[in-house]
Structure 1
Amino acid sequence: MPERLRRLALVVVIALGAIAMLFPFWWTFITSITPGAGFSITPQLWPDDPSLSAYERLFTERPFARVIGNSLLLAAITTIVQLFTSATAAYVFSRLPFRGRGVVFAVYLATMMVPLQVLIVPLFAQLRTFGLINTYLGALLPTFASAFGIFLLRQAMNQVPRDLDEAATLDGAGHGRIFWQIILPNIRPALATLTIFAFMGSWNSFLWPLIVLRSPELQTLPIALAALQGQYTTAWDVVMAGSVISVLPMLALYLFAQKYVIQGVASSGIK
């Protein structure tokens, strides 16, 4: 096959893949601006009489602004704390030798194999003992440490030459200065990648907030979206409007940090 035909075939395949990936988002947006839209097997590709009434209903009939604020608050705190705990722990596993370091790291990574459903009951019992049910802190505590984040940043730190550490040590720098001024600036792609993963994980979290947050004023966005679906009838334009809003922060964050994502994943060794 000539080179030109191979490139044309590659472009066609990529274009078809892009259309297949973007089509659900387009359908969601079109449904959100179609007043009175119902569920249909045949998708509507363009609205007959576009309107933003669904978005208006979303914010006037429900405390959706408070819901978005709750999700943003929890996601921001989770991301910041995960970055700190993951970076400090990764520095210990990467730069501070101690007996049994490999075993401890392997055991810590093994926790990634345990699904959240297994931990819900003991976590709920512990938080109830401390009186943290139906509080922001109760929703946040289990998210403060991330085995995946430690693994990601440790792999990135292992790529930083140790000669930089030795040179800084000769200049009188301690572990704190090496960590903040040498290591962190050199693993910014991995930090950006973890930022996206941590924010996305908290933003899309449904099961744990559903269990621990009881009051309507503490609801997060995924729970509020699930509540939009009625038992017998559903205003699909309102549901899709909420879905569009839920995508926007993640899209903005990814566009802001996209240049670091591929670099961070590639340097971590993850396939």
Structure 2
Amino acid sequence: MTTFGQPKALTLSGTHTRRRGDPMRWAYFAGFLIVTLALMLPVIIIVLTAFKPASEVNAYPPTLLPHQWTLDNFAAIFSQLPFGRLLGNSFAFAGGVTIFALVFDSLAAYALARLDFRGSRVLLIVIVASLMIPFQATLIPIYQLVSQLGWVNTFAGLIAPRAADAFGIFFLRQFFVSLPRDLDNAARIDGASEWRVFRSVVLPNAVPALLTLGIFTFVNNWNDLLWPLVFTTDQNMGTVTSGLTLLTGPGGIIPQGVMMAGALVAVLPLAIMFLLVQRRFIESVASTGLK
């Protein structure tokens, strides 16, 4: 009697547990949905405002959904601004900085992480300490140097001062330190040079870190407003973020609908790039084989 009763009791207990867990599961789902909607609300407002006519954008009380959908705002950003040129400048600026930063940061990080030389710890401390210096404090000296070189309103002036980054060096250095040194030693035993070890051993195993740093660098420079405003005075050399600041309507009123349309178009390349790189990032993490 007792033997047959125990499994029945366990089954009933499991059923009651699942029934008690269902309300909590729905509560967690509802909370997650509310938080997600709250975080996405600014994006939803940008998207919907981009499709509103000016009369609805300036109407009071404001409405969330447009009563009349229009594409005039998207046409206005290309008629009022050289928006195609600004997009190309943004790609050249952010992409150029990302490529150069990954090259120079990885070289410096490899030297600090895998090579033993006098003063390496002091150099690392100086690099980390430079992170505490506000960016605005170095803006004027950098501009004076760029101006003396004649690089104002050029891609060289936009890209060169950001070709290396202290955070990127420190970030990659910490990742390189975590890689087993047996990989380096095995390659050196086979006669590989330091450049071959760096290129064929360390970098292939550092793809996740390089992709992560590349995403951060590209997004930060794509969204940067102050740097392009300072180093470019020609409208044709501006970026998307600096170009949107030039949008003004009659009487100096900012056309919010046109501004939101421009912001939406500017965000789309970032979203597409992130979706593409995210898949590659997951694949690279799974293929490293390192713990």
Counterparts in 2 of 1:99 and 1:170: CA distance versus 1, 3 Å? same
2:115 to 86, 96, 99: 96
Give the match for residue 73 of structure 1.
92
1:15 to 30, 33, 45: 33
Residue 181 of structure 1 corresponds to 200
Q: Does the 8 Å contact 1:27/1:43 carry over to 2? A: no
Deviation at 1:258, TM superposition (A): 2.4
Q: How far apart in 1 are the matches of 2:163 and 2:204? A: 22
C-alpha distance in 1 between matches for 2:284 and 2:162: 21
- Deviation, 1:39, is 4.6
Distance (whole Å) between structure 1 residues aligned to residue 116 and residue 28 of structure 2? 48
Note if 1:133 corresponds to 2:114: no
**Structure 1 stretches lacking a partner, 5+ long:** 266-271
| 1:1-271 matches, cutoff 5 A | 2-36=20-54, 37-39=56-58, 44-230=63-249, 232-259=252-279
Alpha-carbon offset, residue 40 of structure 1: 6.3
Give the gaps of 5 or more residues in structure 2.
1-19, 286-291
Supply the distance in 2 between the matched residues of 1:158 and 1:263 (Cα, whole angstroms): 22
SS at match of 1:17: helix
Distance 1:106 1:263 in 2: 34
Report sequence identity in percent.
36
Give the Cα separation in 1 of the matches to 2:23 and 2:278: 31
Contact 1:209 1:219 in 2 (8 A): yes
Larger mean CA deviation between 114-123 and 7-16 belongs to: 7-16
Query: How far apart, CA to CA, are the structure 1 residues paired with 2:81 and 2:264?
Result: 16
Alignment partners' CA distance in 1, 2:140 and 2:207? 37
Which SS does the other structure have where 2:131 is aligned?
Answer: helix
CA deviations on 1:76-128 (whole Å, 9 max, x unpaired) are: 11110011011111100110011221121111111111111101111111112
Distance 1:42 1:110, change over 3 A: farther
Residue identity in the other structure for 2:125: A
Shift, 1:259, TM fit = 4.8
Paired residue secondary structure (1:131): coil
d(CA) in 2 for partners of 1:125, 1:222: 23
Contact 1:74 1:140 in 2 (8 A): yes
Displacement of 1:262 after TM fit?
A: 8.4
**TM-score normalized by the length of structure 1:** 0.90
SS at match of 1:243: helix
Q: 1:10 offset after TM fit, Å? A: 2.7
The structure with the largest alpha-carbon Rg is 2
8 Å CA contact 1:193–1:260 kept in 2: the answer is no
Aligned-CA RMSD value: 2.2
| Counterpart amino acid of residue 253 in structure 2 | T
TM-score (norm 2): 0.84
